[in-house]
A = this chain, B = another copy of it.
Amino acid sequence: MNILVINSGSSSLKYQLFHMPDEKPLCTGLIEKIGKEDSFIRHKTINKEDVQVTEKTLSVKDYGEGMKHVLALLTDSGLIKNTDDLEVIGHRVVHGGEHFSTAVIIDPDVKQKIMGLSTLAPLHNPVNYKCIEFAEKIFPNAKQIAVFDTAFHQTMPEFAFRYAVPEKYYSEMHIRAYGFHGTSHKYVSEKAMERLGKPDAKIISIHLGNGCSITAVNGGKSIDTSMGFGPLSGLVMGTRSGDIDPSVILHLQRKEGKTADEMDKLLNNESGLLGLAGSNDMRDVVKMLEAGNYDAELAIDMYAYRIKKYIGSYAAVLNGLDAIVFTAGVGENDALMREKICRDMEYFGIQLDAESNRAKSDQIREISGKSGRVKILVIPTNEELEIARQSFELLREDPPCEQVNLY
């Protein structure tokens, strides 16, 4: 069975075709700058060692047109013969609110809920919804499945997901921590559990990409995570501030007359590594550090320090720690950052092996030193594969996975 995975962002569309259950990727592609004149398409057909790349710059005016390009690229490269040839499409959906704690088959009720959650994820859910509608039109015979970024975190206990504001903000306005990057945290923490051979393992999963988040996983269940109501809180990210005293926002609004939208822009798009060091790309910041730049050094120190604090915090809520897992762009590739994070953490039994930390690899690997009690793992994430897996599992099961419906 082939499963097409659709991952639509705020102006991009990524897709990947897997053969299941052997998890073989057949193609992968990307459409960027949707809605602009110079949209960009890259498609790779993968046939064992042979990779064929197609690239085009042209105008892709909306997600509907984008989906049509995907269809054309799949048929042109011989991966499917016609639209009936595709049985399953797995969609990444950012916000599942309290409705969805697992992947679900999309029906009108699910679609309505996804659209209803747009107030909580205004940049993402409407786009995800549109792609589902286009996919239903283009591939009318395929099963459409939704896999939510928030779903993995629905196991958080209430004392962890609530904020200390009056109850009505939760019951009436759905203000609580949802957490994101759930698909990635689930994928890498399961890999870690497998590797440890310990189904009740206590794991801290650290996703460091453009967005960054960290999750406490107890026996395969997320019990706390650093992103909250939105994807802004927690760690220092590429362009996002992460945790910040809320009174800073009020102070800046009073002193500079900043509106909510301006503050949003400041904290989401102009902060983090970019705000501190002038680039949101960790590779640039590391280069600046190596050239002796003070701001870059501070940015990297703050980035690492914040992660250290969360590791301690999650070791406390887990009351133990078997492994920490580094994943995503920075987590998988940045040996210096891993070194900074793990330095002076002996109290937790965290101790890095300098040599295996520096070795380059795109495989799952262990970088802990001999005297550490805690395994330190680097595990490449693969959200697309995880979506394909969950879609496959869901269709295999009968009846489908339990769905949680809290409001």
Contacts and interface: CB of A to CB of B under 8 A. Distances in A.
A330 to B, nearest CB: 15
Contact of A166 (B240, B276, B312): B276
Given A242-B164, A312-B315, A347-B321, A260 B253 contact: yes
A271 B315 contact: no
Given A298-B162, A302-B164, A312-B317, A230 B251 contact: yes
Given A164-B272, A164-B276, A229-B245, A346 B317 contact: no
A245 to B, nearest CB: 3
Interface string A232-270: 110010001111111111111111000011011011001
A40 interface: no
A229 B251 contact: yes
Contact of A346 (B233, B308, B319): B319
B270 A250 contact: no
Nearest to A259: B253
A243 B242 CA distance: 12
A309 B310 CA distance: 8
Interface string A288-321: 0000000100110111011011111111111111
A247 B228 contact: yes
B229 A248 contact: yes
B247 A230 contact: yes
A164 B241 contact: yes
Contact of A302 (B162, B242, B312): B162
Interface residues of A, number: 78
B308 A252 contact: no
Given A245-B228, A245-B232, A252-B169, A316 B320 contact: no
Nearest to A177: B245
A35 to B, nearest CB: 23
Contacts of A273: 164
Nearest to A235: B164
B167 A275 contact: yes
A78 to B, nearest CB: 45
A134 interface: no
A294 to B, nearest CB: 10
Contacts of A316: 308-309, 311-313, 315, 345, 347-348
Nearest to A305: B159
Given A230-B245, A253-B260, A318-B347, 5 more contacts: A159-B305, A228-B245, A230-B248, A313-B313, A315-B315
